[in-house]
Structure 1
Amino acid sequence: MSKTEKLSPREHILDEAEKLFAKKGFYGTSVREITDAADVRLASVNYYFKSKDNLYSEVLARRANTLIDARRSKRESLDFSGMSQRESVEAVIKAIVDPPFKKAATGNPGWRNYLSLIATESTYSYSRIDEHETVHDLKQNSTDFVKSLQELSDFESDQKAHHAYQFITGAILFMLTNNGRLNQLSQNKYRSDDYDAIYPNFLKFLTEGTLALLSDGG
């Protein structure tokens, strides 16, 4: 959006709600705080969203398809021809990791707020995203990634593929909380939000761990 373009009242409320939900969570954020931040009347929230629950669901849903579609597109374009098992596993992991990391790395405050929100309230948030009528099939997308990992596994059972996907996505969520833990551990030598520096080591860590899990010796 250019500097001359003005957000609609609905989008403005969504932005301010997203920021507050990311900082304080669903239960820690009141509708009054949202209306004060957006400088609108309570009637505006009721008009556009009917309730705080619906507002929260809309905040979660409006960016969800961007990530789902990006991951699906990357997964569907994978070609393992000539790849080793390790290279194939890394390619699948990149298809999962790259979309949210690239959004976080842009520094866009909206995306950072959104990713922090789904990371800190993942259990509650993902159930709401999956149930939203406008969101593409999040569950199917996840299932397809598990299938991709299973096809690269040395085991007949798909248990380890499910575990691997859970570990990968869980690690991504933790990294995207931007909780400042790395800053504290390194005495500000390194930053939790320096995604360009984190990415290569994070990818290597996930790839080697997943490969060990899916391999016969794992």
Structure 2
Amino acid sequence: MIRPPVTTPDSEVAPEAPGKAAKDTNTRRGRPSKARSAGAGVARESILDAAEDLFSKHGFYGVTIREVAREAGVDTALVHYYFGAKRALFDAVFLRRAEIWNSERVDAINRYAQEAGPGGMTFEGLFEAFLRPPFAWSLKGGPGWKHYSALVAQTNANPAFGGEIMTRYFDPAARRLIELIKEIVPDAPEVDLYWAYHNLSGALTLTLGETGRLDRLSGGLCRSGDLESACDYMVRFAAAGFRAVCGTRPDSPPA
């Protein structure tokens, strides 16, 4: 059974034996060794992985700290030691991958805007840059990213706290996208921009959730797990939608 690490204040550390300091000059009293710190990091990641898996399948209210600990193979006290209450654990799970998604998306659209230059951006090019990173991570990042995509889809539709969480972790990237969209359609009313983005956000998270609904609806013609095709379709769908909603001239240049 793994117990949470206990740190001892420097004032309570026993005096070192004569000559020990000369032999062990790199050791600081009251701090864990590198090996112990590495083990703690592994345990923390295991807890996050287990919580991510369980939350993505059963939701926030359907998971207990005890279940997370059992799934991670650690003592319940260790989960509380690292994360405190369940909500703090949920937030830590959400933040871990949100930082990667958002930094890559913002970097991609900024890079595209710079390469396209003033007046050169298109909806297709902008949405390709913005949408590709989350699809790529879900496609190639392993089971953890699949769980995270399902968790985001679930949270985005949660009326209790989904709006607050999505605002906290995803709004900065969304606002940067909208700033660049305004350069393509400078005369578009802001209300149109936000409604159009709202529809894109819902479509994105639902698609990344890979619920299998599309497979059954299409009789197997389409597969919700075909994320390469899903991203291609979404770029085209979003570009056409924003043109229709925001009143873009019909002769906008293609990507």
TM-score by length of 1: 0.84
CA offsets, 1:46-105, max 9 Å, x none? Answer: 111111111111100111111111111112112334876xx6111221222111111111
When the two chains are superposed, the root-mean-square deviation of aligned CA atoms in Å is 2.5
2:244 and 2:228 map into 1 onto residues whose CA distance is 25
Structure 1 residue 214 displacement after superposition: 2.0
Distance 1:216-1:187 versus aligned 2 partners, 3 A rule: closer
Paired AA for residue 170 in structure 1: G
2:138 and 2:90 map into 1 onto residues whose CA distance is 21
Distance 1:156-1:118 versus aligned 2 partners, 3 A rule: closer
1:188 aligns with 2:220: yes
Q: In structure 2, which of residues 236, 239, 246 is the aligned counterpart of residue 214 of structure 1?
A: 246
Does structure 1 retain, via aligned residues, the 8 Å contact 2:119–2:184?
A: no
Residue 127 of structure 1 corresponds to which residue in structure 2?
164
Does structure 1 retain, via aligned residues, the 8 Å contact 2:188–2:247?
A: no
Residue 19 of structure 1 corresponds to which residue in structure 2?
53
1:199 aligns with 2:231: yes
2:57 and 2:78 map into 1 onto residues whose CA distance is 22
Does structure 1 retain, via aligned residues, the 8 Å contact 2:155–2:162?
A: yes
Deviates more, 1:179-188 or 1:58-67: 179-188
Paired AA for residue 182 in structure 2: Q
Give structure 2 stretches of 5+ with no counterpart: 1-37, 251-255
2:153 and 2:176 map into 1 onto residues whose CA distance is 21
Larger relative contact order (CA 8 Å, sep ≥ 6): 1
Residue 253 of structure 2 corresponds to which residue in structure 1?
none
Q: How many aligned positions are there?
A: 207
Q: Secondary structure at the match of 1:8?
A: helix
Paired AA for residue 144 in structure 2: G
Residue 172 of structure 1 corresponds to which residue in structure 2?
204
Paired AA for residue 73 in structure 2: D
Percent identical among aligned pairs is 29
